[in-house]
Amino acid sequence: MQTKRTIFPNKFLPYALLAPQLAVTLVFFIWPAAQAVKSSFEREDPFGFRTTFIWFENYTRLFSEPGYLNSLTKTGIFAVSVTLLSMSLSLLLAVAVNRVIKSNRAYTTLLVWPYAVAPVVVGILWWFMFNPTIGIAPYLLRGLGISWNHRVDGNQAMILVVIAASWKQISYNFLFFVAGLQSVPQSLNEAAAIDGAGPFKRFWTIVFPLLSPTTFFLLIVNINYAMFDTFGLIDATTNGGPNQATNILVYKVYADGFLGLNIGSSAAQSVVLMLIVIALTAIQFRFIERRVQY
Amino acid sequence: MATIDLIDLKKNYGNVPAVKGVNLKVADGELIVLVGPSGCGKSTLLRMVAGLETVTSGRLEIGGRDVVKAEPAERDIAMVFQNYALYPHMSVRGNLEYGLKNRGTPRAEIDRRVQEAADILEIGPLLDRKPRQLSGGQRQRVAMGRAIVREPAAFLFDEPLSNLDAKLRVQMRVEIRKLQRRLKTTSLYVTHDQLEAMTLADRLVVMNAGLVEQIGTPTEVYDHPATLFVAGFIGSPPMNLIDVASLSNRRGLDGLPAGTDIIGIRPDVLFLTPQEGISLSMQGTVELLEPIGGESHLHVRLDSSGQSVVLSVPGRPNIAEGSAVTLHARVADIHPFNAQTGRRTDTAVANL
C-alpha cells in the first residue's frame, strides 16, 4: 500500500492541525479513563463526604463476588453467541447475494438497513416483538407449545438479547464479507470446478480460507461489539434481568455505579473492561501488521 | 487421449451473439490454436469447451461423448488460466494434489504423479513453497503441472503466456510445444499473439467477430489466407492490401482472376529492384526507415493513392527519407481478393 507523505515547512503547523482531535481525545477519553483508574483505588462513603485510598481492595472484592463472576460468564456466553450467530448468518447472506448477479445491489441495500438503527431502537423493536403480553413471537411460539416469558426465564432473556444484538450486527459483517468474497478471483473458483470440487467443497477449501483475513478482523470487531456496544440494547430490553441473567459486564458497570452508587467497584470494573479492550486491540493490530497469512 | 468436436456451436449473451456457429474437429493428440483479435469469441469458445460457459446451441463432444450438459469436472479436461489461478493459500504440492484428491485418487498414485510432473517441469525444489513466493515463469510451470498431474483427455490453454515478459514467453512457448509433443494430449490453445499461434499450432483457427475465418496449418494460413481479415491479421508486419482501382499502372495484373479488386502483397516480396517474370511496379516516396536488426522495414507512401505500404529489406539500406523509389512485386506472389465478399478470388481454400 502506498502512503502519501506530506512535508510541512512549518514545525508547529502539524501540531496545530492535530490539536483539535487530540483535545477531544484528551478531554473525553484519556481524562475520564484516568479518573476511572484513580477511583478504582478509592472508596467513597455513601454521602460523598470522604474518599479513602484503599489500594486493590475494590479489585479483590470484585473477583470474589459471585455476582461479578456470574456477569463474566454471562458476558462470555453472550459475546460468543452473538459473534457466531451474526457472523455465520451474514456469511450465508453474503454468499447468497454474491451468487445473484442482477439484483445484488438491491439486496445489499436492504441488508445494510439494520445498521442505521440505533441500539436502543433495536432493543425496543425486539422487546415489542417478544413481549410476553402483546408480542407476536410469543403468540406464534405458543402455537408450537413453547411458553415464552423472558421476564421470568433467564435463558429466554439471553436468547432474546443475543438475537437482537446479532440482528443489528449482521449488516456490518455482511458488507465486509461481500467485499471479501468479491476479492476472491473468479478464476480460482473455475479452476477448482475443473479440478473436480463441488460448490460446497469449493467454498470450504478455496473461498473460506481466502476470506480468513476478513473473518479474523470481523471476529475481533464482533467480540468488541458484543461486549461494549450492546449497553443500550440490554437497557431497553431486559435491564440485565431477570435475576442477573443478562447482566453483562458493561451493563453491570452502569448498574453498580449509577444505580447502586458504588463508584469504587464500578470504576474497578471499568478498568477491567478497558484492559480487555486493550488486549483485543493489540491482538488485532499484531495480526493486521503481519497481514494475510496464506 | 481424445478428440474434440464442435458442431455449429453458438453462444449468445442476451441478444448479443459472441460465438456465431463454429465447426471444428480436433484430432487426437493435435494442438489447435485459436487466434483472433480481442472480442472475437475465442476465449468464450474455449470456456464453453471447459464447461465454464453454457452452450446456447450446437453440439460439443469430447472423446465422442456429448458434454454440453456435463459439469466442468465431468469433462476430463484441464485448463491453464491466463492469471494461472493458483490457490494462494496452498503450497505448490497442495495445488498439484487438489484435483487428484477431489477425485479420490489413492495416496501413492498422487505422490507418483506429482513427482513425475515436478520432474518434467523441473519444479521439484519449489513443491513446498507458496505461489506468492514464485516468479511469473515458475507460477506458469506450476499451472502447467496442475494440468499434467490430472492426465486429462485434453488441455485447454487460455492465453497462458500473456502475463510473462517477452523473453520468458518465447522460452515457455518452446516448452509448451515440447511438452505437448511428448505427452501427445489433445490441446486447445487460445492466444491473440499471431507469432505464438504460428509457432505452436498443428493447425490454426483464425477467428473474427464470433466466426471462423480460416482453419489450416500455419503455413497454409500464411501462404493462402482465405479472407482479407486473415491476410491482414497473420504475418508481421502485416500484408499490404492495395485497392486495384487506385493503381495508376496496372500492367501485369491482367492475369489475375475475375472479380479481383484488392491485391495483397507481403512485405518480404516487395522489392526495390525490378524482378524477373511478369511483375507489378509502383511509384512511391520513402516515409520512414525502421532498422530492426538483420533487416529493415521501409514505409513507402504510394504516389497513385497516398496509401502507405511496408516492405522488409535485408540489412540497413542507405535510403534517405523523402526519396522517390519504385517498388516491384512478382505477380505470382500477389494474393487476389474481392472486397465485396472479403475472400480470395483464385482458389477456394478448404476449411475443415
Please list, in sequence order, all residues whose beta carbon lies within 8 angstroms of the beta carbon of residue B142, skipping any fewer than 6 positions away.
Answer: B84, B86, B92, B95, B96, B121, B123, B126, B131, B134
Q: What pLDDT is stored for residue A1 in this prediction?
A: 46
A142: in domain: yes
A30: in domain: no
A62-66, A256-260, B262-266: range with highest mean pLDDT = B262-266
Q: What's the pLDDT tens digit per position in A222-238?
A: 998 998 888 888 888 88
User: Which residue, B9, B30, B33, B4, is CA-closest to B19?
Assistant: B9
A218: in domain: yes
Residue A292 has pLDDT above 70, yes or no: no
CB-based contact (8 Å) between B14 and chain A?
no
Residue listed under C-alpha cell 501413492: B108
A176: in domain: yes
C-alpha cell at A164: 437482537
Query: Which residues, in sequence order, are bridge partners of residue B240?
Result: B265
Q: What pLDDT is stored for residue B186 in this prediction?
A: 93
**Residue of chain A with shortest Cα separation from B149:** A195
Chain A residues touching chain B at CB-CB below 8 Å: 185, 187-188, 190-198, 201, 205-206, 209-210, 212, 294
CATH number at residue A70: 1.10.3720.10
Residue A19 has pLDDT above 50, yes or no: yes
Which DSSP string do the residues of A195-251 spell out, in sequence order? Answer: TT--HHHHIIIIIHHHTHHHHHHHHHHHHHHHHHTTHHHHHHHTTT-STTTT--HHH
Residue A3 has pLDDT above 80, yes or no: no
Q: CB distance B89–A194 less than 8 Å?
A: no
Q: What pLDDT is stored for residue B1 in this prediction?
A: 62
A12: in domain: no
A13: in domain: no
**Residue of chain B with shortest Cα separation from A191:** B85
Domain that holds residue A85: 57-290
Q: CB distance A191–B52 less than 8 Å?
A: no
Q: What's the pLDDT tens digit per position in A141-199?
A: 888 888 888 888 888 899 999 999 999 899 999 999 999 998 888 899 999 999 988 88
User: Which residue, A94, A227, A78, A226, is CA-closest to A173?
Assistant: A94
A150 and A157 in contact (C-beta within 8 Å)?
yes
A68: in domain: yes
In the stretch 129-168 of chain B, residues with CB closer than 8 A to chain A read: 130, 146, 150
A4: in domain: no
Q: How many domains does chain A divide into?
A: 1
Q: What pLDDT is stored for residue B352 in this prediction?
A: 43
Q: Helix/strand/coil (H, E, C) string of chain B?
A: CCCEEEEEEEEEECCEEEEEEEEEEECCCCEEEEECCCCCCHHHHHHHHHCCCCCCEEEEEECCEECCCCCHHHHCEEEECCCCCCCCCCCHHHHHHHHHHHCCCCHHHHHHHHHHHHHHHCCHHHCCCCHHHCCHHHHHHHHHHHHHHCCCCEEEEECCCCCCCHHHHHHHHHHHHHHHHHHCCEEEEEECCHHHHHHHCCEEEEEECCEEEEEECHHHHHHCCCEHHHHHHCCCCCCEEEEHHHCCCCCCCCCCCCCCCEEEECHHHCECCCCCCCEEEEEEEEEEEEECCCEEEEEEEECCCCCEEEEEEECCCCCCCCCEEEEEEEHHHCEEECCCCCEECCCCCCCC
* Angle, CA of B346, B351 and B352, to the nearest 5°: 155
Query: In chain B, which stretches have pLDDT less than 70?
Result: 1, 348-352
Out of A187, A191, A196, name the one closest to residue B103 (CB). Answer: A196
C-alpha cell at B198: 504460428
The full set of domains in chain B, from first to last, is 4-223 (3.40.50.300), 238-337 (2.40.50.140)
ipTM of the complex: 0.82
C-alpha cell at A233: 440494547
Nearest chain B CA: its distance from A76 CA (Å): 32
In terms of Cβ atoms closer than 10 Å to its own Cβ (0-12, 13-18, 19+), residue A291 is exposed
Average pLDDT, chain A: 86
Residue A8 has pLDDT above 80, yes or no: no
**Residue of chain A with shortest Cα separation from B94:** A205
Q: What pLDDT is stored for residue A111 in this prediction?
A: 84
A14 and A8 in contact (C-beta within 8 Å)?
yes
Residues of A in contact with B162 (CB under 8 A): none
Q: What's the pLDDT tens digit per position in A24-34?
A: 999 999 999 99
Residue with the larger pLDDT of the pair A8 and B177: B177
Residue A41 has pLDDT above 80, yes or no: yes
CB-based contact (8 Å) between B113 and chain A?
no
A52-61, A279-288, B159-168: range with highest mean pLDDT = B159-168
Question: Cβ of B148: how many Cβ atoms within 10 Å?
Answer: 24
Q: CB distance B98–A209 less than 8 Å?
A: no
